[in-house]
Amino acid sequence: MNKQTTYRAIVIGASSGGLHALKRLLPALPADYPCAVLVVQHMSPHSDNYMTTMLNMASSIKVKEADEKEVVVPGTVYVAPPDYHMMVEADETISLSVDNKVNYSRPSIDVLFETAADTFGEQLIGIVLTGANADGAAGLRAVKNAGGYTIVQDPEDAESPVMPAAAIRLAKPHSILSLDEIIKVLLKPGFVLPL
């Protein structure tokens, strides 16, 4: 059965190996992409914004570090700043926080996914990519429970399979796909996704 849904936002979580995955995924998205994309990539608290700058230079879609109280709009990729949790508020603005680490991580994938699920519900796509811990598994389950569509990178395709495997176990996602297959899904007109 196919469900026709107008998706408004995509949340992506990645850890170890994530930069390489994002360097393939984000440049595939066009400048006029119809969704907002919010990304948590685990990184050192002392990182500068080199990763975001590099991804923006390589992509047609605008890639930027998220700002406090910024309104989430289509055609933009928002990357969580180092050492800040990124949340989506009910009014579809971004909130940044230095609250305690979740799953030993700040920014935490779970924090982003859970708040985005509360805000966007069934109009959200959640994607867990490569990584070496369990962050993102509970968040992806929250996306699914809110009616959103859930995708996990195939552990065999991931540079680090631990995070995808944890998400598969806990969230039982709709799709388990290679990175190339994930890109194809995100470029489908109208996002008619198999359930």
Q: What is the pLDDT along the chain (195 residues), one digit of tens a residue?
A: 345 678 999 999 999 999 999 999 999 999 999 999 999 998 877 777 789 999 999 999 999 999 999 999 999 999 999 999 999 999 999 999 998 888 878 899 999 999 999 999 999 999 999 999 999 999 999 999 999 999 999 999 999 999 999 999 999 999 999 999 999 999 986 655 554
Catalytic annotation, pick one of 15, 16, 59, 108: 15
How far apart are the C-alpha atoms of 144 and 76, rounded to whole Å?
A: 23
Which token pair is 60?
A: 């047609």
Q: Which member of 16, 108, 110, 135 is catalytic?
A: 135
Would you state the pLDDT for residue 192? 52
CA gap 132, 2 in Å, rounded: 33
Half-sphere exposure of 72 (CA within 13 A, CB side): 28
Instruction: Name beta bridge partners: 13.
Output: 40, 128
42 is catalytic: yes
Nearest-10 crossing angle of helices 18-25, 50-58:
30
Q: Quick one: which H or E segment has residue 184? A: helix 179-186
Write out the DSSP string of 125-174. Answer: EEEE-S-SSSTTHHHHHHHHHTT-EEEEE-TTTSSS-HHHHHHHHHH--S
Question: What per-residue confidence (pLDDT) applies to 193?
Answer: 53
State the pLDDT at residue 190. Answer: 60
Residues 6+ apart with CB under 8 A from 78: 36, 37, 38, 39, 64, 65, 66, 70, 72, 86, 94
Amino acid letter for position 171: A
How confident is the model at residue 195, as a pLDDT? 45
Q: For residues 47, 140, 99 and 49, what is the CA-based torsion angle, rounded to 10 degrees? A: 20
Which domains are seen in the chain, by residue range? 9-185 (3.40.50.180)
Catalytic residue check, 118 = no
177 Cβ neighbours under 8 A, 6+ residues apart: 151, 152, 153, 154, 157, 185
Q: Number of H helices and number of E strands within the chain?
A: 6, 11
Are 68 and 95 contacting, i.e. CB atoms less than 8 angstroms apart? yes
Measuring CA to CA, how many Å separate 43 from each of 34, 92, 113, 148, 164?
28, 25, 17, 27, 18
pTM of the model: 0.94
